[in-house]
């Protein structure tokens, strides 16, 4: 298994998959406002780990590297803070 970094050629694919997994969508009761999933239970990076594993990357090593690049504290911050980076 490989390790994902923000410079990896599949970075943007990872961000796209994570965005899909977080289910970003406009709120039906508040047009113009959006909602999404972020982490689950006690693990704020649960969806990140799921996507990394599905893509064949080592989730713990990849997540450690991603977190060392910029401060991110949960799944959605990876998308918001690092989504347009790398790749």
Residues of the chain with pLDDT under 70: 40, 86-87
Residues in CB range of 13: below 8 A, 6 or more apart: 55, 87
pLDDT of residue 40: 67
Q: Which two tokens stand for residue 44?
A: 């704020």
Q: At what angle do helices 59-69 and 75-82 cross, to 10 degrees?
A: 50
pLDDT, tens digit, 9 for 90 and up, residues 61-85: 999 999 988 789 999 999 988 887 7
The b-or-e profile of 55-79 (16+ CB within 10 A means b, else e) is bebebeebbebbbeeeebebbbbbb
Cα distance between residue 48 and residue 44, in whole Å: 9
């Amino acid at each position: 298994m490989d390790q994902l970094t923000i410079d990896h050629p599949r970075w943007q694919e990872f961000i796209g998959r994570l965005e899909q997994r977080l289910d970003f969508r406009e709120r039906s009761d508040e047009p113009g406002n959006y909602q999404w999933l972020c982490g689950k239970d006690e693990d704020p990076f649960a969806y990140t780990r799921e996507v990394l594993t599905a893509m064949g990357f080592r989730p713990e090593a990849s997540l450690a590297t991603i977190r060392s690049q910029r401060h991110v504290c949960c799944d959605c911050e990876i998308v918001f803070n690092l989504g347009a980076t790398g790749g």
